[in-house]
Amino acid sequence: MKMPKRLIAGLGALMLSASPLLHAVADPRDDQDRGGPQQGRYDNRGDNRGDEHRGPQADRRGGPPRDFGPVRETIRDNHTYFVRGAPPPHGIHLVRGQPLPRGYYGERLDNRALAHLPYYQGYEWRRMGADIVLIAVGSGIVYEILDGVLY
């Protein structure tokens, strides 16, 4: 009698723990096409910034812009919110268009700093030493490197 109950409980726990993995694999455009909430692996829960930080670029399907000059100016103007990160380990070199080196992911920016940066669906800002890097969440590919913007 104890075996079936344990088996059922174990399968239930397995299904609950696997559900976030199934959601992360689903196409994030599915929710967007239906007009529903866009929730993925990194949906900034607990981030109370509202939608005003998203800017005009977030509505486009093309992703982030090519010119990050305004973002550099924003970081410079609000430098008190941005803290320099730990430098990358020796031998780690970031290349735009290439994935992050295996085992190195940089450091996430805190919510105070993120409130001053534009939001792009499917991308995440990271700090790496004096640089801020925009990476694609699913693949880890480096989209942009803002060299030396952190003091």
Which phi and psi (to 5°) does residue 109 adopt?
-80, 150
Q: Are 57 and 99 in contact (CB under 8 A)?
A: no
CA angle 101, 62, 135 (to 5 degrees): 20
Q: What is the pTM of this model?
A: 0.57
By residue count, the chain amounts to 151
pLDDT at 124: 94
Q: Please, which pLDDT band fits residue 45 given cuts at 50, 70 and 90?
A: very low
**Protein fold of 42-146:** Nuclear Transport Factor 2; Chain: A, (3.10.450)
**Of 143, 82, 80, 90, the residue nearest 107 (C-alpha):** 82
What rounded mean pLDDT belongs to the chain?
Answer: 75
Backbone CA torsion sign across 50, 55, 56, 57: negative
β-bridge mates for residue 145, sequence order: 133
User: What's the pLDDT score for residue 67?
Assistant: 87
19 band by pLDDT with thresholds 50, 70 and 90: low
Band of the pLDDT at 48, cuts 50, 70, 90? very low
- pLDDT score, position 77: 92
Average pLDDT, integer, range 114-126: 93
